[in-house]
């Protein structure tokens, strides 16, 4: 038996990580097809070492986005939105020209953008693309609602405001009362006599 030839378990492990095509499991083919260099001979199927580089794309938190990164993120999103709306023939009634002036629409499009990058990343196993299109079908009605009313030009909508909407004293009292209920429930759960209807001692 030639110890230089890898056994079938080693070949299968190599196949799983992409080192060998399935045809390498055929002895007739395997004998004369070792053309991938020394890398495959150096492969250790028992090794768990690998790159720790992140895969996919990063999500953009528009609420906390700093000024130093804002311009670049906006440019990337704009490039993708313009490509996306042309490629998929998205109507102006769904994504109006003023999409960037609608916060909810920005959030929805940004989420689709990042998901698209991750789904078509080289690290994806092949199911990302169909998954992204399934999510797109769910997102289209939300896009329509988020950008409604601007198909013929931008229409300013009055943003919701919380200024002077909350009674601060009532709010603080409600928090205190809710927390107190939670503490009482904890005390009751820890007192076995309470569940038997026995008075507290």
Segment 54-84, tens digit of pLDDT: 455 788 888 888 888 889 999 999 999 999 9
CA 79 to chain centre: 20
Task: State the Cα angle at 67 between 63 and 70, rounded to 5°.
Answer: 70
Residue 88 counted as domain residue: yes
Q: What span, in angstroms and rounded, lies between the C-alpha atoms of 144 and 151?
A: 10
Per the structure, how many domains does the chain have?
Answer: 1
Residue 139 counted as domain residue: yes
pTM of the model: 0.58
Closest CA to 4 of 33, 36, 41, 31: 41
User: How many Cα atoms sit within 13 Å of 60 on the Cβ side?
Assistant: 24
| C-beta of residue 132 within 8 angstroms of C-beta of residue 140 | no
Distances (CA, A) of 13 to 8, 21, 34, 36: 9, 11, 16, 16
Residue 101 counted as domain residue: yes
Q: What is the pLDDT of residues 118-169, one digit of tens each?
A: 888 888 778 889 999 999 999 999 999 887 778 777 777 777 788 888 888 8
Q: What span, in angstroms and rounded, lies between the C-alpha atoms of 37 and 41?
A: 8
Could you tell me the residue range of the domain that residue 135 belongs to?
69-146
């Amino acid at each position: 038996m030639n110890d230089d030839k890898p056994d079938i378990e080693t070949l299968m492990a190599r196949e799983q990580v992409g080192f060998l095509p399935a045809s390498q499991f055929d002895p007739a083919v395997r004998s004369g097809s070792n053309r991938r260099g020394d890398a495959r001979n150096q492969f250790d199927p028992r090794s768990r070492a690998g790159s720790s580089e992140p895969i996919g794309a990063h999500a953009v938190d528009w609420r906390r986005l700093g000024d130093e990164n804002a311009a670049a993120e906006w440019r990337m999103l704009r490039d993708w939105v313009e490509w996306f709306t042309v490629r998929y023939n998205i109507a102006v009634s769904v994504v109006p020209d003023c999409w960037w002036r609608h916060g909810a629409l920005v959030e929805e499009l940004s989420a689709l953008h990042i998901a698209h990058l991750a789904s078509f990343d080289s690290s994806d196993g092949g199911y990302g693309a169909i998954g992204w299109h399934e999510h797109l079908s769910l997102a289209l009605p939300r896009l329509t609602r988020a950008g409604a009313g601007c198909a013929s030009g931008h229409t300013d909508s009055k943003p919701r405001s919380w200024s002077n909407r909350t009674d601060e004293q009532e709010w603080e009292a409600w928090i205190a009362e809710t927390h107190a209920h939670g503490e009482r429930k904890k005390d009751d759960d820890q007192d076995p006599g309470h569940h038997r209807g026995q008075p507290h001692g």
